[in-house]
Amino acid sequence: MSTEVAIVGIGMHEFGRTDGVSGMDQGVVAVRRACADAGVNWEDIQFAFGGSMAAGAADTMVSLLGLTGLQFINVANGCATGGSALFSAYNTIRSGVFDLGIAIGFDKHERGAFRVNTKGGGLGDWYGASGLALTTQFFGMKINRYMHEYGITQSTLAKVSEKAFRNGSMNPMAWRRKPISEEEVINSPMLSYPLTQYMFCSPGEGGVALILARADKAHLYTDKPIYLRAAVVRSRRFGSFEVLAPSIALEHNAGPTVDASKAAFEMAGMGPKDMDLAQLQDTESGAEVMHMAENGFCEHGEQEFMIQAGDTEIGGKFPVNTDGGCLANGEPVGASGLRQVYENVLQLRGQAGARQVPNDPKTAYTHVYGAPGISGVTILSR
Amino acid sequence: MSQVPVTEGVFTWPSDSPQLIGSRCVACGNHMFPVQQGCPKCTAAETEEVLLGRRGTLWTWTVQGFPPKAPPYAGNVDPKTFEAFGVGYVELPGQLKVESRLTEADPEKLRIGMEMELVIVPLSKDSDGNEIVTFAFAPVA
Ligand SMILES: [Zn+2]
């Protein structure tokens, strides 16, 4: 049996806009806070995996943290950068190579919608020139089709945003901490039909660091170790409908989220019904709706009733995006997946304050999705 | 003033009945757009060029409600005069679904399943005064 892995320290730099502080420096703050949380010094860390999309090569931060000679590997994997760093750190400990390491994600993006690098994405210049290189369009088109097939209403999309901003208002690390009503969400400017401004998250800034240890040594660092039961990253298969695709096949495949979710549950030896709460990719409110079903937490179409009934609220049957998700935190791409894990660690330790999920949750799930059709899932338990 | 395509090799132009240029897998018959080498369906390396059908049905759609960032966008980004444009996937029978601008941008007039046809539309002007054109799908009247 391979070595079990525990998260023994967590650190975060506030998400949002921090003028005058680079993305890299926000990552450094997150690392220092994670070390303090675990009660370790930087020189105790044996290895690191880290990455950002737009804020520089992670390994250069050793000049600020200390030149200890540790093994530091940069990770660049789009929206799954944080998840990939965590996957790599998890397996490094499981394999027995090292006992104590860190996964780091940080970023800082320009204001407004993401400017897509069409060349880097293997797309011709004509694609962007013709007005098609916007990730926002994909999300509008995917949820529009989904609403047509499964009867999801615009009110339900707006309720997802309303919940996100309400949860964000209880999260001191969140960017958007002002509650916004369902009506305000619906009446905000239509950006990409049927999605309005307050249904979309914005590119932002922030950093997260997670310290991992062999489970049998976790007690050295914390009296509340949280065990990483699964960490999985999957890419798309033929026939799936993905962001920034000039064409898609006639035949349909469910996509990388379904594959990553199944693999993670198998790895953990658990199923969707065993999860007490989840953080699901909510690039926009429709994504949260669709990802509830793609990750196995309900049947397609059931979200309409569940969300209208309040099931995904913090006090509901199955809380989703308890920290406000991407909608309230923004999306610093390199850090976003690790933010979800950070929140789940707080929830499982019972340290989530005003937004603590009641009844002592024991298991928690995270899911990221992004370009060019990649998904990452983790499962944590106490 | 002459019209120049936004790129060569994506659609036939000039033409009275323009068509998108795609690829077909020699081994399994899978269609791809734009032209590419290698088949994502069966992993075969050999593909041949094929002209795609001009008509299909709207599979899904949205409306681009704000000016895209320029570059890469080559069209009008002036917030005062920007006009929203439709974007959708059109299902070409027996081939594939292609992503495209739509000539219609009114949500009241777009519905999944409606008949669409390929047209060529103006996008912007280049420094020589030529009109740059790209492809779009228009509802069949
Ligand atoms: Zn083939």
The pair of three-digit structure tokens given for residue A355, joined into one six-digit string? 């937004």
Average pLDDT over residues A368-379: 91
Residues 281-320 of A with CB under 8 A from B: none
Angle at the Cα of A190 (from A186 to A193), degrees rounded to 5?
A: 100
pLDDT tens digits, residue range A186-225?
A: 999 999 999 999 999 999 999 999 999 999 999 999 999 9
For residue A1, pLDDT beyond 60: no
Are B10 and A126 inside 8 Å of each other by CB?
yes
CB-CB neighbors (< 8 A) of A112 in chain B: 69
CA distances (Å), B6 to each of A59, B49, B110, in order? 41, 20, 26
Are A130 and B101 inside 8 Å of each other by CB?
yes
Give the chain B residue nearest A116 (alpha carbons): B72
CB-CB neighbors (< 8 A) of B76 in chain A: none
pLDDT tens digits, residue range A115-165?
A: 677 666 678 899 999 999 999 999 999 999 999 999 999 999 999 999 999
Rounded to 5 degrees, what are φ and ψ at A22? -70, 160
CA distances (Å), A290 to each of A149, A204, A229, A303, B7, in order? 12, 23, 24, 8, 36
C-alpha A254 – ligand 1 centre gap (Å)? 20
Are B69 and A113 inside 8 Å of each other by CB?
yes
Query: Using an 8 Å Cβ cutoff, are A170 and A334 in contact?
Result: no
Question: Is A21 part of the contact surface with chain B (CB cutoff 8 Å)?
Answer: no
CB-CB neighbors (< 8 A) of A131 in chain B: 64, 68, 73, 75, 85, 87, 101, 123
What letter does residue A15 receive in the DSSP assignment? E
C-alpha A299 – ligand 1 centre gap (Å)? 33
Residue matched to tokens 């323009």: B18
pLDDT tens digits, residue range A249-306?
A: 999 888 999 999 999 999 999 999 999 999 999 999 999 999 999 999 999 999 999 9
The pair of three-digit structure tokens given for residue A370, joined into one six-digit string? 């992004």
pLDDT for the residue numbered A179: 97
Question: Is A238 part of the contact surface with chain B (CB cutoff 8 Å)?
Answer: yes
Select the more confidently predicted residue: A88 or A115: A88
Residue among A284, A261, A283 at smallest CA distance from A370: A283
CB-CB neighbors (< 8 A) of B85 in chain A: 131
Question: Is A122 part of the contact surface with chain B (CB cutoff 8 Å)?
Answer: no
Task: State ipTM.
Answer: 0.96
pLDDT for the residue numbered A18: 94
DSSP string, chain B: --EEESSSSSB--S-SS--BEEEEETTT--EESS--SS-TTT--S-EEEEEPPSEEEEEEEEEE-SPPPTTT--S---TTT---EEEEEEEETTTEEEEEEES---GGG--TT-EEEEEEEEEEE-TTSPEEEEEEEEE--
pLDDT for the residue numbered A2: 61
Per-domain boundaries in chain B: 54-139
- The partner residue sitting opposite A246, judged by closest CB among B61, B85, B98, is B98
Rounded to 5 degrees, what are φ and ψ at A170? -100, 10
- The partner residue sitting opposite A145, judged by closest CB among B60, B98, B123, is B60
Question: Is A133 part of the contact surface with chain B (CB cutoff 8 Å)?
Answer: yes
Are A112 and B69 inside 8 Å of each other by CB?
yes
Choose the mutation target among B35, B87, B95 for the interface with A, i.e. most A CBs under 10 Å: B87
pLDDT for the residue numbered B126: 85
pLDDT tens digits, residue range A34-45?
A: 999 999 999 999
Residue type, A38: A
- The reply to whether omega before A225 is within 30° of 0 (cis) is no
Rounded to 5 degrees, what are φ and ψ at A369? -140, 145
Are A192 and B33 inside 8 Å of each other by CB?
no
Residue matched to tokens 């594939």: B96
pLDDT for the residue numbered A80: 85
Q: What is the C-alpha to C-alpha distance for residues A232 and A248, in angstroms, rounded to an integer?
A: 25
Query: Using an 8 Å Cβ cutoff, are A48 and A60 in contact?
Result: no
For residue A20, pLDDT beyond 80: yes
Residue matched to tokens 């298969």: A237
Query: How much is the mean pLDDT over chain A?
Result: 95
In chain B, which residues have pLDDT < 50? none
- The partner residue sitting opposite B87, judged by closest CB among A137, A145, A245, is A137
Q: What is the C-alpha to C-alpha distance for residues A69 and B5, in angstroms, rounded to an integer?
A: 54
Question: Helix axis angle, A285-294 relative to A154-168, nearest 10°?
Answer: 100
Query: Using an 8 Å Cβ cutoff, are B16 and B120 in contact?
Result: no
Question: Is B65 part of the contact surface with chain A (CB cutoff 8 Å)?
Answer: yes
What letter does residue A1 receive in the DSSP assignment? -
Residue type, A6: A
pLDDT for the residue numbered A148: 97
C-alpha B45 – ligand 1 centre gap (Å)? 8
Beta bridge partners of A13: A207
Are B63 and A130 inside 8 Å of each other by CB?
no
Question: Is B87 part of the contact surface with chain A (CB cutoff 8 Å)?
Answer: yes
Q: What is the C-alpha to C-alpha distance for residues A269 and A362, in angstroms, rounded to an integer?
A: 15
Q: What is the C-alpha to C-alpha distance for residues A176 and B133, in angstroms, rounded to an integer?
A: 41
Question: Is A115 part of the contact surface with chain B (CB cutoff 8 Å)?
Answer: yes
Q: What is the CATH number of domain A5-111+201-381?
A: 3.40.47.10
Q: What is the C-alpha to C-alpha distance for residues A20 and A27, in angstroms, rounded to an integer?
A: 14
Question: Is B126 part of the contact surface with chain A (CB cutoff 8 Å)?
Answer: no
C-alpha B22 – ligand 1 centre gap (Å)? 14
- The partner residue sitting opposite B96, judged by closest CB among A116, A191, A249, is A249
